[in-house]
Amino acid sequence: MRRPQPRRYAARRGAVAVLAVAVLGCSTLVAACTTGPAPSEAKASADLPRDTIVNLFQWNWASVAAECPRLAKVGYAGVQLSPAQEHAQVANNPWWVDYQPVSYQISSRRGDRAMFAAMVTACHAVGVKIYADAVINHMAGGDSGVGWAGSAWSHYDYPGIYQSQDFHHCGLTEGDDVRDYQNRAQVQTCELVNLADLATGSDYVRGRIAAYLDDLIALGVDGFRVDAVKHVSAEDVGAIMGRLSKPVERYYEVIDKGGEPISMNEYTGSGKVLVFSYGDEIGSALQWGRIASLRNLAGGVNGTVARVFLDNHDTQRHGGAQVLTFKQPRLYALANVFMLAWPYGEPTVMSSYEFTNPDAGPPETDPRGTTKATTCGSDGWVCEHRWQSIEGMVGFHNVVKGTGVDLWWDDGANAVAFARGDRGFVVVNNSTTPLTGRSFQTRMPPGSYCDVVHGALVDGRCTGPTLTVTADGWFTADVGTLDAVAIHTGATAR
């Protein structure tokens, strides 16, 4: 959800970050596998537990459907969609207009109801779940207009759905906007950047929101990413979710980095929460700190109720200098390797499109803003979820799930290595000095393994380097600057 954020774009950058972008550019670490089939890893399939979601931000429904077979083969559990409901229309078609609902019709610039249903069916056919981005806190922020599907609306009047009595009119600030994030009443009853704030304590409003979510469930949606949850009380969220026809998965956007009265822990009784501090900590360590400091990385909640991420559609635009994105490709690839290797929480991988103006919407086919079909590597579609390092580590994450961190090694600064039980091992070198000829002890069986950061297992053979684990569990590897290697028991070479 678009919300006011401090603009903290610091001019400072560490030497490592400068090298990553300006000198080294891209290698196989960040090569986008934009064409051809996905790797056919032996164990990156439905027989393994999967929990990694990819946020295909602003993809239209037909493109999501076409991508699901690849996602299934790589080992993704599901797709997070952009909002499905009818949204307002705004000049220049910014991305954030999708978070301004004007009705609960399934009709947006990404497609209509029939297209949405066809996408769900196609993705389910290959075992990929669908998570809808649900906007329940508010409606639109303008004075009036006509929505994407033709619904007329004004700020507190959405015919057949809501009228003035169905909204909060907090009376606490000029214009009823949130001014003070230290004031719980303002945050949860005033308007977020003028968005008409629903009276979620109302029985009618709760029922109307639940009916919309149930409609999506009837279309086959497996769960929800719920937007702007900090602006709805935990009691109201629990009451709405308690009305659903079935207990689908859900994870809540609660921006909690400490220092505010509303905590993400308040919401874990009815769902999981997105941990915003997680990506900040990794980004800061990779750019300015020591990645050895990530040895105890966790968020403010138990890992069983945490969904973690490096960046999302909001933070990559307004999150501050500590947030790594596709615009810093080498560091971003390393950050994803670490996230997918680390056992805390369930990961969400970001998939983006290029932008200079942070308000810019996705590639479009017409002046109205109809979203263009995604072709990875062209028309501005970045598709970082297809980078070899990320695809390979999704398979790694699945194979090692349920194991802990063992045999930790670090150089005291910017090179770390660790085992995940007897199923995998990863080395991350975030320094300007290569690691050459170093041996690492694992608990893995002896054999030849694909380095999944740089290649895949296809038809029993590695498309990239192989690493050999000896009978006593050791392997030797050269790891370049700003690079990584990873092996796991699901990618053993012939």
Q: State the catalytic residue, choosing from 41, 133, 191, 227.
A: 227
303 shares a domain with 284: yes
Question: What's the whole-number average pLDDT of the chain?
Answer: 92
Task: Give the model confidence (pLDDT) of 404-452 as tens digits.
Answer: 999 999 999 999 999 999 999 999 999 999 999 999 999 999 999 999 9
Q: Which two tokens stand for residue 441?
A: 């002890």
How far is residue 382's CA from residue 380's CA, in Å, rounded to a whole number? Answer: 6
267 shares a domain with 288: yes
pLDDT at residue 19 greater than cutoff 70? no
pLDDT of residue 54: 98
Q: Which two tokens stand for residue 159?
A: 């015919």
Q: State the catalytic residue, choosing from 67, 236, 249, 253.
A: 253
pLDDT of residue 11: 29
Note if 143 is an active site residue: no
User: Which residues does residue 486 pair with via DSSP β-bridges, in sequence order?
Assistant: 426
Task: Give the model confidence (pLDDT) of 295-317 as tens digits.
Answer: 999 999 999 999 999 999 999 99
Task: Give the model confidence (pLDDT) of 239-285 as tens digits.
Answer: 999 999 999 999 999 999 999 999 999 999 999 999 999 999 999 99
Judge whether 477 lies within some domain: yes
337: confidence class by pLDDT, cuts 50, 70, 90: very high
Domain limits for position 468: 405-488
How far is residue 411's CA from residue 377's CA, in Å, rounded to a whole number? Answer: 37
Q: Which residue type, as a one-letter code, is found at position 18? A: V
pLDDT at residue 369 greater than cutoff 70? yes
pLDDT at residue 357 greater than cutoff 90? yes
Count of domains for the chain: 2
Sign for the CA dihedral angle at 376, 424, 43, 302 comes to negative
User: Which residues does residue 420 pair with via DSSP β-bridges, in sequence order?
Assistant: 405, 424
142 shares a domain with 47: yes
pLDDT of residue 13: 31
pLDDT at residue 21 greater than cutoff 50? no
Note if 227 is an active site residue: yes
How far is residue 422's CA from residue 444's CA, in Å, rounded to a whole number? Answer: 5
pLDDT of residue 5: 35
8 Å CB contact between 340 and 393: yes
Judge whether 364 lies within some domain: yes
Domain of 411, CATH number, reads: 2.60.40.1180
Query: Looking at 400, 415, 436, which one is the last position of a domain?
Result: 400
8 Å CB contact between 486 and 337: yes
Domain of 319, CATH number, reads: 3.20.20.80
10: confidence class by pLDDT, cuts 50, 70, 90: very low
pLDDT of residue 2: 47
pLDDT of residue 47: 75
Judge whether 132 lies within some domain: yes
How far is residue 354's CA from residue 360's CA, in Å, rounded to a whole number? Answer: 9
How far is residue 226's CA from residue 493's CA, in Å, rounded to a whole number? Answer: 42
Judge whether 3 lies within some domain: no
Q: Which residue type, as a one-letter code, is found at position 438? A: R
Of the candidates 231, 229, 220, the one whose C-alpha atom is nearest the C-alpha of residue 197 is 231
pLDDT of residue 31: 64
* CA dist 379 → 280, 353, 364, 382 (Å): 29, 9, 9, 9
pLDDT of residue 45: 52
Q: Tell how strand 306-309 and strand 346-351 pair up.
A: parallel
Judge whether 352 lies within some domain: yes
Judge whether 160 lies within some domain: yes
Judge whether 56 lies within some domain: yes
8 Å CB contact between 254 and 230: yes
